[in-house]
Chain A
Amino acid sequence: MEIYRLEAVGRRYGAKEALSDINLGVEDGSILGVIGQSGAGKTTLLKILAGLEPPSSGKLLYRGETVDTHRAATLRREATMIFQAALFLRGDVASNVAYGLQLREVPEGEIESRVRDALERVRLTGFESKDARRLSGGEQQRLAFARALVLDPKVLLLDEPTSNLDSANASIISDIIAEEAGRRLVVVATHDYGQVRRLAGRVIQLEGGKMIGEGETGTLFADPRFAENVFSGTSKIVQGVAQVEVGGGIIIHAAFNREGRVAVRISPEDIILSKQFIETSARNEYKGRIVAVEELGSIIRLKVDAGRIFTVQITRRSLVEMGLNVGSEVYMSFKASSVEPL
């Protein structure tokens, strides 16, 4: 069933228009991705869906009914948002998780067991008496998840759930998000396109408060606007492997059969970087120079010029450990099977 319908929804703060003319319908039991740059309006949209802020214009319907002040209270009970930076109340982990249940007057014995289960889910078993504010960043984000999941909300709204996490914590969270698909509606706002491609069934793209793209994940990312590492050139099959000459001295080895004019694409996460040349089984190896570094929380997007410009995604940790920077010389490698024909 359709959980949300937004009709020409807009939101302004004083003179600033954070969102305008959003038209959207969201179905139950799916994961919706919201992508866009910082300031594009992702958080604002989530807050509206969470019932935390009313639209300044347009209509928001939840389960078929217009959301007014009264209905917003119900919406807030059924939709829970997890914020980018987790905030906690005074007290231990258990009381923080239990807070929402206490508001709903759940009997105490039940609270205790539900809290325990939720903590187990996020791998924080045994943390009950710890001071919530003294946990590490990763633990705090997991705790935020526990706090939300224990309420079994009908809608889960996630604002950059893994952007400040190291990969260990990020993967725990990603797994949890993936598990939630089907159980309830999940809306994830992020600028990690890889994460969206992996998790979301549907994606909308925001820019400057407006919706500039919307559709099935696979389809949307095929859009040339998402052109990252899209190269066109001429393919020749040599010894069972396609060799695509894309210019700039780059010949990409791909594992498909086509010949002639083709367009190919490589996922930025599939490209491996090294500071020295390593002989690997990967068929594609190029030397290049980093020309741009884009920091997106715990992931980094690099633009590497190897004759053509490649977009490579690595973790921040790798960037730091390898001491990479604009101007650094790097070697890129990726498998032939990572090359997608378009």
Chain B
Amino acid sequence: MTEKKGMTINQRTMVIIGVVLAVAFVAGAWYMTRPTTKEQIIVSTTTSFYETGFLDILKKNFETKYPQYNVSFISQGTGLAIETAKKGNADLILVHDPKAETTFLTDGYGVNRKIVAYNFFIYVGPSADPIGVKGLSPVDALKKIAEEGAKGNAIWVSRGDNSGTHSKEKALWKLAGLNVTLLKQQTTPDGKPWYYEAGAGMTATLQLADQKNAYTITDVASYLKNSASGNIKLVKVVDSGKDTLNVYAAIICNPSKNTRGHYEASTTFVKYLASDEGQALFKDYGVTQYGQALFKPWITTLKANTDTDLIQWVKDYAYIEGSDCPMAYRLNPGDLYS
């Protein structure tokens, strides 16, 4: 018989020990992996914003100033981001779709909307620009692309995912007087479609467009990032214009509907975004890496009041009933709108 020192451990005891160990392990791990001891602010935001890497900087700086908070960003498509907030899983949203934002307010899910930054959507395309849209206005460019696309001379790639970028694109087609549904069904003389829907995030869409030597619409930040890392060889063909304005706003989830209970913390965060410090973060991000800032600080621009055309464009596009946030949806704003 094999040498056995000590007792033969009874089988039942073994099983009990095993069970106890298992429970202890799970309990311990559960405790070890609890989210955070600090108060957690969950910000539901969009993928394009997330993919620029800006949010990491934002988090670091905010938490340095307010060490009692932990900011967690959840990035999804704009539609899902808003849905998440509606279901009570986030404390505030940070998106770039004024129409959807308005609905969010009027449906009672949000309060105290504050515009914090803006940039432009740009069109990018093959460096050769075979159909010559360079320099055209955003709307004219689309008309040209549709014309040439149907002839088989150009390909267009759309986000196709109901994101902020996609909403913008659809609005532009509408301005150009074209029906996207029809465009999607068109085929070139070769029998292939020319309007493609990626159904994916900005980077993936850009890569698809790059592969196909196609034209597409993108936000500046995503373009610069992907271009700099050599992922794509597309170039800017249509730059800033009134119609390609991209405006970012934050809305706090309505505390009477949201049970997470971090209203105060969320307010602190939004105020931070609007503060000089926060605005400076927007202004500086990307300059060293890409030679130009990926975002423009709205409040700083508004205060400086030098580019009056631009300021008017933003107000026309992103103001609701004449301001960031209609009075009905303001909740103890304090100095938020001063």
Contact = CB atoms under 8 A, between A and B. Distances in A.
A and B in direct contact, judged by CB atoms within 8 A: yes
B2 A108 contact: no
Nearest to A103: B11
Given A108-B7, A115-B1, A129-B2, 8 more contacts: A92-B1, A92-B2, A95-B1, A95-B2, A102-B8, A102-B11, A108-B4, A108-B8
A261 B81 CA distance: 111
Nearest to B11: A102
Contacts of A102: 8, 11
Contacts of B2: 92, 94-95, 129
Contacts of B7: 108
B181 interface: no
A279 interface: no
B10 interface: yes
A140 to B, nearest CB: 19
Contacts of A112: 1
Contacts, number: 19
A129 to B, nearest CB: 7
A223 interface: no
Contacts of A129: 1-2
A223 B7 CA distance: 58
Contact of A94 (B1, B8, B10, B11): B1
A108 B6 CA distance: 9
19 contacts: A92-B1, A92-B2, A94-B1, A94-B2, A95-B1, A95-B2, A98-B1, A102-B8, A102-B11, A105-B10, A108-B4, A108-B7, A108-B8, A111-B8, A112-B1, A115-B1, A128-B1, A129-B1, A129-B2
Contacts of B1: 92, 94-95, 98, 112, 115, 128-129
B276 to A, nearest CB: 74
B7 to A, nearest CB: 7
Interface of A: 92, 94-95, 98, 102, 105, 108, 111-112, 115, 128-129
Main secondary structure of the interface of A (DSSP, over half): helix
Pick from B4, B8, B11 the residue with the most CB of A within 10 Å: B8
Nearest to A105: B10
Contacts of A94: 1-2
A114 to B, nearest CB: 11
Interface in B1-58: 1-2, 4, 7-8, 10-11
Contacts of B10: 105
Interface size class, chain B:
under 10
B13 to A, nearest CB: 11
Interface string B253-276: 000000000000000000000000
A294 to B, nearest CB: 44
A132 to B, nearest CB: 13
B150 to A, nearest CB: 73
Name the 10 nearest CB pairs between A and B, nearest first: A94-B1, A128-B1, A108-B8, A112-B1, A102-B8, A115-B1, A108-B4, A108-B7, A129-B2, A92-B2
B25 to A, nearest CB: 27
A162 to B, nearest CB: 28
A115 B1 CA distance: 9
A108 B4 CA distance: 9
A215 B4 CA distance: 50
A123 B8 CA distance: 27
A94 B4 CA distance: 12
Nearest to B10: A105
Contacts of A95: 1-2
A145 B297 CA distance: 90
A98 B1 CA distance: 10
Nearest to A115: B1
Contacts of A108: 4, 7-8
A95 B7 CA distance: 15
A65 B2 CA distance: 42
Contacts of A128: 1
A108 B7 CA distance: 7
Interface in B200-231: none
Contacts of B8: 102, 108, 111
Contacts of B4: 108
A216 B11 CA distance: 46
A146 to B, nearest CB: 13
Contacts of A98: 1
A289 B10 CA distance: 63
A94 B10 CA distance: 17
A112 B5 CA distance: 13
A102 to B, nearest CB: 6
Contacts of A92: 1-2
A292 to B, nearest CB: 50
A105 B1 CA distance: 17
A115 B11 CA distance: 20
B32 to A, nearest CB: 37
Pick from B1, B4, B7, B11 the residue with the most CB of A within 10 Å: B1
A91 to B, nearest CB: 9
A92 to B, nearest CB: 7
Nearest to A93: B1
A98 B2 CA distance: 12
Interface in B48-91: none
A98 B8 CA distance: 11
A128 B4 CA distance: 14
Nearest to B6: A108
B215 to A, nearest CB: 69
Contacts of A111: 8
Nearest to A97: B1
Contacts of B11: 102
A129 B1 CA distance: 6
